[in-house]
A and B are shown apart, each in its own frame.
Chain A
């Protein structure tokens, strides 16, 4: 995280962390940088105009005047004409500034939406309230499905196809690009490149119901080699249980209701309504950014999903303490 003078502006408001992993003011790729420059250009122009208007208003109010007893100030044709010239020039300047800003905006649109030749193709589908992430490899065997976490190699353009499964959502990772809606019945696209390795957070930006506030996603930008490693790990089927506890955990996951909604590749669990759990423990968070992935948080989530994220679509599946322990042991090993 680079310290900029924006942070100096923000920190007095107790907001020092703002220039961080979910901020439009901390661009980490060429698209976000174009937008960042545009924001500063507009802000600078706006600040100058505001100051000029306030200055002329203050002068208009408090300038020195001749004393007069007349109840109404008479109009003087020559002064009216002079003022008309000034107002006319101010309007002309407004038109000029507006035209300039429109042009700058148009150029920024062109820069931001330049399509690249061979982007990494990913499909993101929005659900109430999580993100399904699929890597669209031409070879069917190399397609990966995961949730709430997008791994991408640094420097390679990424083209994301955006679709919605239920209501409208909006994909927004401000450090990397502007937002784009996910709309039922139509697919949108967004392309961006990440310049530096790191974790960038995004969250749904279109009100999508009860847990709109808890619909985060994480972009993990890493080197080509690390990305390759991750990709190969994700292509593998789920880890086989290596202890009795985990074996019984797997049995519960496949035997109880879990498999109706979730997929764990390499087992009978093949549901498609909820997030793919094949490598759930490899992801940094569960429940779309609500809890960091630990065995404890997995157990808490399975035990009572409705208290942690009220209204979400995961029902509480009654489990005994031993069953819960086994399930969390199994899930936390699905790296």
Chain B
């Protein structure tokens, strides 16, 4: 179809194949580029600029969350410490959890997806790029709102899980719980938007020939993750909205005295909360598969089982939320079911681990920093997965639930299972994003410090938990005997923090002074390496055509490309979902200020509605205006596609 239209094309069309390469790149840069200066910064819809922005913001939140963690370790370093005080400590641990989950872990994974998915599948921008810009602004405002509230001593103090009735109208004083609930709304809107974009991008914009069995594993992981987001997030939005309604207008969703149910909150929260873990973990699985492939110097072993394991994990993720509620006194049959399903998720995890080890076994491993992070991931994640099997057992969980054992467990899974691969991924893709290499020497120190610091910090927490130390306590009596263990943990946390510091220093330094990277410094196989580093605004001068799973290895000398796209408007190829056969030339939206204006209008309404239900009425007027402006046909080249 695109061929037919191109052949019949009218005089105003300029096709890519008609121009000499230098002129083509110049013309594409004009069509796809972002204006210089502040206005360009506000209006851009380039997935790379937005992805980079997302990444930097998420890492700033990581840093802030880390500072909170160090404050907690300072408070717990000795018994009966009065440094932080109960009220402030409760805000600090709530902020740490909420910040790390909602403002760091989920957004950072989506940020990597936003940046890389279009490059890896060989297209020029993400689907719905203006929605993408909107999602970033929503995320930013949500984060700023939470941290501003914290700075004003209005930070939530109810735990990141915000159990009712503690967070409800009767016991949650002031506006603290509402701040938490509305922060959820902001970040969920952002996450849902990105999830929809990624699903559509992966299904409809893959390079010609990239059939389902040639999709890079990281892209598969982001696809499954996006489906998890789309299916899990509505549960928490229902929950947080009901909570706001209970608090603001006196509904009784969670009030047992009026026929509401306290446990309903926990079901809704964990129906989201457990898939949330996999929303964070699955992208890390994709990163691991990518890094293992590149540094084992061979095609991944077990591509199909790995894809099926991703999907199986995604499905099972929805069948085990109750294992967060084993102490609530559920019927025994239900408990047994959820024990079985929680343990069953170890099987797809096992498949992944075995396939990676087989790839390394059959390949020729190169121990560069990204792979070192993956080795750190193996040691910690496998341990965290095994303690996960322990907490999946109902009777065992009744002893360790809500103790430091669980704190240790989920940090092994989240830091070991997600942050280590993420940092490896940063070392791996940093040259693509910035055009410069990070330091191999500093990288090795960072891995070492992080790995040693992490294990010294979190392993003893298992023992503290078994020794009876509950979570979320701001202090403990000296006679409990936990003082030594806690002091050890706090001291080790300094090593862990030093590791992160080295990483940050390396990233900031390398962004300016790193060695130039070239297009494909690791000699990797996927399409993002087939374009300059950093990639131009249009990603690829000619869209690549894929004939195999590892295009840059198997077509080392000349990657086939597709031609026939117009250059004077933003145009990309829409392909079929399964086979990636070209179906149409589709225009991609240009830069616009309306996403920002819509985000501002939405933010005003959401924040205002913390204080008055009338905000929903009056606040929706500016939102309506902004959305009309956004979607109004403007006669631009995009509109006539």
Contacts and interface: CB of A to CB of B under 8 A. Distances in A.
A225 interface: no
Nearest to A94: B350
Interface residues of A, number: 92
A56 B357 contact: yes
A105 B391 CA distance: 10
A203 interface: yes
Contacts of B402: 170, 179, 205-207
Interface string A38-51: 11001100100110
A208 interface: yes
A15 B484 contact: yes
B618 interface: no
Nearest to A73: B298
A251 to B, nearest CB: 35
Contact of B327 (A18, A53, A102, A205): A205
Interface stretch (A57-65, A236-244, A274-282): A57-65
B368 to A, nearest CB: 13
B452 interface: no
A167 B158 CA distance: 12
Contact of A106 (B257, B298, B336, B553): B336
Interface in A1-52: 9-10, 13-20, 22-25, 34-35, 38-39, 42-43, 46, 49-50
A168 B358 contact: no
Nearest to B85: A310
Contacts of B360: 57, 60-61
B270 interface: no
A213 B473 contact: yes
Contact of B353 (A19, A34, A53, A179): A53
Contacts of B357: 53, 56-57, 60
Interface in B451-489: 460, 463-464, 466-468, 470-477, 479-485, 487-488
Interface string A170-205: 101010011111011110110000000000010111
Interface residues of B, number: 98
B516 interface: no
A71 interface: yes
Given A102-B340, A172-B470, A310 B86 contact: yes
Max count, chain B CB within 10 A of own CB: residue among A50, A98, A113, A201: A98
A23 B467 contact: yes
A99 to B, nearest CB: 8
A39 to B, nearest CB: 6
Nearest to A188: B329
Contacts of A18: 463-464, 466-468, 481-482, 485
Contact of A205 (B159, B262, B355, B470): B470
A74 B475 CA distance: 58
Contacts of B624: none
Nearest to A72: B553
A166 B398 CA distance: 22
Contacts of A186: 256, 262-263, 329
Interface in B236-276: 256-257, 261-263
Contacts of B362: 73, 75, 79-80, 83
Contact of B396 (A10, A90, A108, A113): A108
Nearest to A41: B396
A185 B256 contact: yes
Contacts of A42: 389-390, 393, 396
Contact of A90 (B299, B350, B463): B350
B470 A209 contact: no
A183 B353 contact: no
Given A106-B336, A113-B332, A13 B463 contact: yes
Interface stretch (B17-25, B46-54, B163-171, B502-510): B163-171
Nearest to B170: A166
A311 B488 contact: no
19 contacts: A13-B488, A16-B484, A18-B466, A20-B481, A34-B395, A46-B383, A49-B386, A53-B382, A61-B375, A72-B553, A75-B298, A75-B299, A94-B350, A105-B395, A106-B336, A109-B332, A167-B163, A170-B327, A183-B329
Given A39-B390, A113-B332, A184-B262, 11 more contacts: A17-B481, A18-B485, A46-B390, A49-B382, A61-B367, A63-B361, A80-B362, A87-B351, A102-B339, A209-B90, A310-B87
Interface of A: 9-10, 13-20, 22-25, 34-35, 38-39, 42-43, 46, 49-50, 53-54, 56-57, 59-61, 63, 65, 68, 71-75, 79-80, 83-84, 86-87, 90-91, 94-95, 98, 101-102, 104-106, 108-109, 112-113, 128, 162, 166-168, 170, 172, 174, 177-181, 183-186, 188-189, 201, 203-213, 289, 310-311
